[in-house]
Chains A and B, each alone.
With several copies, the nearest count.
Chain A
Amino acid sequence: MSENMMRTISMSEALNEAMHEEMERDDRVFAIGEDIARNGGLFGVTKGLLPRFGAARVIDSPISEAAISGAGVGAALVGSRPVVELQHFDFVTLAMDQLVNHAAKWRYMSGGAVTVPLVVRGPIANGVGLAAQHSQSLESWFVHTPGLVVIMPSTPYDAKGLLKAAIRDDNPTLMLEKRLLYTRTGEVPTGDYVVPIGVADVKREGDDVTVVAISGGVPLALQVARKLEPEGIDVEVIDPRTLKPLDLDTIVTSIAKTGRLVVVSEGARAGGYASEVVARVIDAAWGSLRTAPIRVTAADTPIPYAGPLEREVLPQVHDVMTAVRNVMEKGRTQHVAV
């Protein structure tokens, strides 16, 4: 069936398809952001929307992150489905009030009288030398904001399906996209599909160690899994895809099998998403853990510019490798209840 024909496309192409399809499907959807119309977005996610859907639905905004986010809230309140692009996700610092004090809370404060079907998305540009103000992986702030849904795709397939799901979902949803993943390719079917919000994906099955990885951490984890195969270490890689709400069941089931956990995320260490995953696993799967989970994260520094410095503070393949070997080693001396 041609509707399910598989092609290999990049993540930015996949996101772009999602935008085209959802704007076609539902004329309540519109897009607003800096340089998204004429220019198609700095990374092409909104390419071709302007000629197809017109300037009323594809808007090059002033550089006013707070106002476009707030306008998104207002538009969502009256039944539109706005998709707001932040040119880099770091600029969310300027939109926090609209997203946290408004989008996330408006439904709750009204006692359920309103819905806010808003999507805010944009890239995380770490790893390319854009330095501290353009490289932050700030997902954990939003995980800490009741009322928001938080998504971070790692493959073109997930990106397309999750963006479509987010646009159709009635909740304010943030989608954080790692810029270095935009050009990575993967199989994506033609035609309509969604990836459900709140469902993790086991990217690789394995018996020895559970690696929970998000966004850019996923390719790192998969690389490590392949590298350790010859040594007989069998790594399971779980990509939650939706950070909030977290599909804890899939993780707990895996740990019941492996007894070992490594969490990989690219945000700063303290207060990061990896800490949250560890804390929840401790709650839910204490008895299954053979050894202490290990977090592989960015260091607690701003992201520096120069290559050698940036590589030093961001998680690398060898960091994940070391962590996996470590839990393997320590997990041999098993904790048991007496």
Chain B
Amino acid sequence: MTSGRATPGTTLDAGDALFTMQLIRYFDERVVELYNQKLVRGSAHPYIGMEAIATGIISALGDQDLITSTHRGHGHCLARGLDPSRMLAEVLGRKSGYCRGKGGSMHITAMEHGMLGADGIVGGSHAIAVGAAYASRLQGRDTVVACFFGDGAANEGSFHEACNLASVLDAPVVFVCENNGWALSTRASSTMRIDDISTRAAGYGFPGVTVDGNDVHAVRAAADEAVARARSGAGPTLIEAKTHRMSAHSAFATGETSTTEELAAWAERDPIEALVRRSISTGELTDEAVAETRVRARAAIEAATEHAVNDEQPDPETAFEDVYASSHWTKEMRLA
């Protein structure tokens, strides 16, 4: 029910997309509330205002495809169809969480959804995406990997190495740069002297394209092309989706960043409202359908909250599990 996963070749289903985007919005609003209630440890990074990107890209993927994610990863997970209850349980560090409470917000992983893992290291998953894509192909699958990352991450050396490696390997990767204008408290414009991050693709010999990251249809169109290219064996594409971070950087780091004017201007371009306006004007959705979708999304978040806050804390002894894989490894060996 939660999925924005369309069959490749189909067009974006407005109702599905709206549901996904609204679910992401409600989820991350709830996470911030729970953080403020001290139920979330560490930090959590809301995807608010960026929902069209995960939704548009992931809707272009098939079941066999994979994604890598970031510290700001809830949106990618939800768009990929992860269970919000188990996600929220993880964010709260509970037993039924996707990582049994070991990962928290920044490390949600769900192989059964082709979600290779969120990553607390900025730029840390670029190369992982390349390796997963290449190896899947080597194993005879026609997997495509969507690799999400921020504008800030595009300045890490890992971006460069991974793009170049993907290029020479013709790895089926779609690099998705979510340019939300900020890296924490620092403006993208002050850490790079280019207008479009997509221009960097030329340095690796593959296509780069910049799209309106608040327009889920535009994102989807770019994704369709990039996914088809990757799947055909022609190699990677860099999609830069321009958007804006409408929330604070994180639940922990709440210092002001954008100006009031900027926020107001971008609020006008809220990706959810934009999708609603468009869908109603094309007749794809009715007001009632929109309202009903929101109620459904809200209900899913309420159910997830109910589940997560009542879920058990993990047993302390489980802290010593999962360090190593082999079943013959003793506790003594794990501590060795």
Interface residues of A (CB under 8 A from B): 28, 30, 34-35, 38-39, 42, 56-57, 59-80, 82, 90-91, 93-94, 97-98, 101-102, 106-117, 125, 128-134, 146-147, 149, 169-171, 198, 244-246, 248, 269-270, 299-302, 304-313
CA distance A80 to B133 in the complex (A): 11
List, in ascending order, chain A residues with CB within 8 A of B191's CB. Answer: 60-63
The smallest beta-carbon distance between A19 and chain B, in angstroms, is 17
- Number of A-B residue pairs at CB separation under 8 A: 306
Q: Is B42 a contact partner of A63 (Cβ separation < 8 A)?
A: no
Give the residue name and chain of the B residue nearest to A71 (CB). B131
With A74-B68, A74-B132, A301-B319 known, 9 other A-B pairs at CB within 8 A are: A63-B156, A71-B130, A75-B132, A97-B121, A97-B158, A113-B99, A129-B41, A130-B43, A270-B335
The complex places the Cα of A238 from the Cα of B127 at a distance, in Å, of 39
From 286 to 329 in chain B, residues with beta carbon under 8 angstroms from any chain A beta carbon are 313-326, 329
Tell me the complex Cα distance, A73–B68, Å: 12
Known: A70-B127, A134-B120. A171 touches B314 (CB 8 A): no
**CA–CA, A17 to B139, complex, Å?**
23
Q: Is B165 an interface residue (CB 8 A)?
A: yes
The residues of B that contact A42 with a CB separation of less than 8 Å are 184, 253
A57:B336 contact, CB within 8 angstroms: no
Q: Which residues of B contact A72 (CB under 8 A)?
A: 131
Residues of chain A lying within 8 A (CB to CB) of residue B94: 306
Cβ contact within 8 Å between B336 and A77: no
Do B107 and A77 have beta carbons less than 8 Å apart? no
Q: Which of A73, A149, A244, A306 has the most CB of B within 10 A?
A: A306
User: Are B165 and A111 in contact (CB-based, < 8 A)?
Assistant: no
> Within the complex, which residue of B40, B110, B139, B164 is in contact with A62, where a contact is CB–CB below 8 Å?
B164
Which residues of chain A come closer than 8 Å to B269, judged between CB atoms?
none
Contacts of B244 in A (CB 8 A): none
A297 to chain B, nearest CB (A): 10
Within 107-136 of B, Cβ neighbours of A (below 8 Å) are at 107, 109-111, 116-117, 119-136
B194 to chain A, nearest CB (A): 12
Is there contact, CB below 8 Å, between B116 and A306?
no
Partner of A108, one of B102, B125, B136: B102
Query: Which residues from chain A contact B234 at a C-beta distance below 8 Å?
Result: none
**B111 CB to nearest chain A CB (Å):** 6
Cβ-defined partner of B127 (8 Å) among A28, A67, A79, A305: A67
A71→B186 CA distance, assembly (Å): 19
Residues of B within 8 A of A170 (CB): 325-326
Name which residue of chain A comes closest to B188, CB basis: A62
**CB contact between B336 and one of A60, A109, A171, A270 (< 8 Å): that residue:** A270
Q: Do residues A67 and B130 form an inter-chain contact, with CB atoms below 8 A?
A: yes
Residues in B whose Cβ lies below 8 Å from that of A311: 316
Q: Decide yes or no: A308 and B320 within 8 Å by CB, A39-B185, A62-B164, A113-B110 being known contacts.
A: no
B324 and A306 form a contact (CB under 8 A): no
Residue of B102, B319, B323, B324 with most chain A CB atoms under a 10 A cut-off: B102
Q: Is the CB of A110 within 8 A of B117?
A: yes
